Chain A
Amino acid sequence: METAKHQSDEDILINGLKSGDQAAFHEAVRLYTPGMLAVARFYLDPSSAEETVQDCWVTVIDAIQKFEGRSGLKTWLHRIVANRAKNHLRKTKREVSSDFSETLDPELADRFAHNGRWATPPGLKSNESAQALMENGALSDCLDQHLAALPETQRSALMLYEAHQHKSDDVCNILDVSASNLRVLLHRARQRIFLMVETFQETGEC
């Protein structure tokens, strides 16, 4: 019965959306907008991305009637955003550029000696849990800063895969990248976060 209960929360929300209930829309907007922005920003500059997400929500009012629930609401919304963002991109003829050739972050790469061993090994291991660490507001702010500084493509991949827990296939589909390129984006982004946490733990500064 666990899954039945789990599904019904989303079902109630979907029914609310289908009947044009404003409170349901408010809830859905709060819940899904951050992920939709992550998708849009993969393709577009921040202000076009916001505009695209807003426009998508307006189209959802009608489109939700045709939603059959095969993919789950989140994935469905993310696909709508991706399609709209791609159309926008086509009109402005901008291309998403990304370097998939190097899997090592340059800063991390510098820490190996010529023989391929660590020259500057990783700092001490932290025994605190992620949850405990996140209660450190300074670390949380620092993480925000570093996430914001990531290339859009890396950040989107990281957000969809890690934060919104999409499966790889879905992320590839939504972001139009191959499975191997997704692996590169994820690994590059994670290395940045790793380096940031290390500096923070060693110096107490961001």
Chain B
Amino acid sequence: MLMCRDLARIASDYIDGELGTMDRVSVKMHLLMCGHCRTFIGNLRASIDLMKAHSSQQVDEELVHRIDSRIKERLDAQRSRKNDSE
């Protein structure tokens, strides 16, 4: 018999559709009988959605600026080398 703790261990696999048929059926049976685990799966799903919505991540502007400068330096150097050879 699948217990709540067992279900918690494989909850992500269930959500992502990574479980084999037998395990998936066990989870579904358990969820029919257990409100706590239904809440758990629902809330875990909600956290995943939250994580996805959040990940319109902020960019570290200072780092972007530093990278931009290094790229500019390199591009300028390439261009002047090209001009010299022409």
Contacts from A to B (Cβ < 8 Å): 20, 22, 25-26, 29-30, 33-34, 37, 50, 53-54, 57-58, 61, 103-104, 108-109, 112, 115-118, 121-126, 129-131, 133-134, 139-140, 143-144, 158-159, 162-164, 183, 186-187, 190-191, 193-194, 196-198
**Complex partner residue of A130 from B18, B53, B59, B71, CB under 8 angstroms:** B53
Q: With the chains together, A190 CA to B3 CA distance in Å?
A: 20
Whether A158 pairs with B51 at a CB distance below 8 angstroms is yes
Q: CB of B86 within 8 A of chain A?
A: no
Whether B67 pairs with A53 at a CB distance below 8 angstroms is yes
Q: How many residues belonging to B are interface residues under a CB distance threshold of 8 Å? A: 44
Q: With the chains together, A125 CA to B47 CA distance in Å?
A: 11
Q: With the chains together, A139 CA to B51 CA distance in Å?
A: 11
Known: A30-B59, A61-B75, A125-B42. A143 touches B54 (CB 8 A): yes
Whether A33 pairs with B36 at a CB distance below 8 angstroms is no
Which of B13, B37, B51, B79 neighbours the largest number of chain A CB atoms within 10 Å of its CB?
B51
CB neighbours of B43 from chain A (8 A): 122-123, 125-126, 194, 197-198
Whether A134 pairs with B3 at a CB distance below 8 angstroms is no
Whether B75 pairs with A162 at a CB distance below 8 angstroms is no
Q: CB of B83 within 8 A of chain A?
A: no
